[in-house]
Amino acid sequence: MKPQPRITQVDVFPWNLAFKRPAKTSRDTLLHKPSWFIKLTDDQGREGWGECSIIPGLSVDEPLAIESYLSEAAALPPQQAWEIPTALPAVQFAFEMALNGLRNGHELNFFPGAFAEGTSPIDINGLIWMADPEGMLNQARHLLKNGFTTLKMKVGTLPFDAELEWLSALRKEAGQDVVLRTDANGAFSRIESGWTPLRKLEALADLEFHSIEQPLHPSDLSGLAELCACSPLPIALDESLIGVRGREHKAALLDAVQPNFIIIKPSLIGGFVEGQDWVDLAEDRGIGWWATSALESNLGLYAIAQWAKDGVRTRHPLLLQGLGTGGLFTNNIPGPLQVEAGKLINRTGGQWPNLASFLTQG
Element containing residue 42 per DSSP (H, E): strand 29-42
- The Cα 215–Cα 200 span in angstroms is 10
List, edge to edge, every strand of the sheet that includes 29-42: 7-24, 29-42, 47-53
- The Cα 245–Cα 82 span in angstroms is 12
Among 213, 233, 210, 232, smallest CA distance to 149 is for 210
Cα-based angle 103, 272, 298 (whole degrees, multiple of 5): 80
Cα-based angle 223, 286, 196 (whole degrees, multiple of 5): 25
The answer to whether the CB of 187 falls within 8 A of the CB of 160 is: no
- The Cα 81–Cα 330 span in angstroms is 30
Q: Is 290 helix (H, G, I), strand (E, B) or coil?
A: strand
Q: Is the dihedral of CA 325, 326, 327, 333 positive or negative?
A: positive
The answer to whether the CB of 194 falls within 8 A of the CB of 224 is: no
Annotated active-site positions, please? 154, 265
Cα-based angle 281, 117, 146 (whole degrees, multiple of 5): 80
- The Cα 326–Cα 83 span in angstroms is 30
Q: What share of the chain is helix, strand, coil (3-state, %, to 5)?
A: 40, 25, 40
Among 134, 161, 268, smallest CA distance to 214 is for 268
136, 139, 141, 147 alpha-carbon torsion, rounded to 10°? -140
